[in-house]
């Protein structure tokens, strides 16, 4: 039996799509490690539930309520049938104290999340929907891009973006089509390749100037 199966026997649970694991404002008594499936992390903003992130296998979440002993700052919902490791505070503390590698990985992940949160806030400062899409593409390229001979390649599932940046899926597809026709990226389903990030950044700056000053 592999290590993953052993962990699942000790801490694992299965959850069906639509299950709410915890809600914003509740007390936090557990953290979770996602082995399979997908989890949507959302927050209430101006009477609207806004999806902040969609997590996939290997991601962990819910740890901040344990670390800070404060209420949950977001809601976690199963968006695709999931297998999760459910870790209580005592087990979590033992894992951190007994394994420096786990502690370092967690610190790196928390720093990455802070960076993504900053980028999301910056994105929402753009009034122009086209700028929001281009900014999101550029940020995803920089943080998750994989170098290839053609450029930086990354996955961008369209169904996850609308609630993150406040732009509808048809409008997002329209912008991506325009960027592809302009030679700024290539698309193959949800996989994108940006040949020149500097050009894409220049285009974003052009959009910002155009939105700010209009056609002079």
Domain boundaries of the chain, sorted by first residue: 1-113, 129-213
Q: Work out the mean pLDDT of the chain and round it to a whole number.
A: 82
**Distance between CA atoms of residues 216 and 160, nearest Å:** 36
Asked whether residue 215 carries a pLDDT value surpassing 60, the answer given is no
- pLDDT for 82 equals 95
CATH of domain 1-113: 2.60.120.10
| 168-206 pLDDT per residue, tens | 888 888 989 989 998 989 999 889 999 888 888 888 888
Q: Are 211 and 127 in contact (CB under 8 A)?
A: yes
Task: Please indicate, yes or no, whether the overall pTM of this predicted structure exceeds 0.85.
Answer: no
How far apart (Å, rounded) are the C-alpha atoms in residues 84 and 1?
18
Fold of 129-213: Arc Repressor Mutant, subunit A (1.10.10)
pLDDT tens digits, one per residue of 108-138: 776 666 556 555 555 555 567 888 888 888 8
């Amino acid at each position: 039996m592999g290590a993953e199966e052993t962990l699942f026997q000790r801490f694992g649970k299965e959850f069906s799509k639509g299950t709410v694991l915890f809600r914003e404002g509740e007390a936090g008594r557990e953290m979770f490690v996602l082995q399979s499936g997908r989890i949507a992390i959302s927050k209430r903003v101006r009477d609207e539930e806004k999806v902040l992130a969609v997590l996939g296998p290997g991601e962990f979440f819910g740890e901040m309520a344990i670390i800070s002993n404060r209420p949950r700052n977001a809601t976690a919902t199963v968006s695709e049938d999931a297998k999760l490791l459910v870790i209580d505070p005592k087990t979590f503390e033992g894992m951190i104290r007994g394994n420096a590698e786990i502690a370092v990985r967690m610190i790196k992940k928390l720093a990455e999340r802070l960076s993504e949160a900053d980028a999301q806030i910056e994105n929402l400062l753009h009034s122009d929907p086209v700028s929001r899409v281009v900014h999101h593409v550029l940020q995803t390229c920089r943080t998750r891009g994989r170098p290839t001979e053609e450029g930086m390649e990354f996955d961008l599932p369209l169904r996850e973006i609308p609630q993150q940046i406040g732009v509808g899926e048809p409008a997002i597809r329209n912008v991506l089509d325009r960027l592809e026709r302009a030679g700024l990226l290539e698309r193959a389903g949800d996989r994108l390749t940006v040949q020149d990030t500097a050009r894409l950044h220049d285009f974003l700056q052009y959009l910002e100037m155009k939105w700010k000053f209009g056609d002079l």
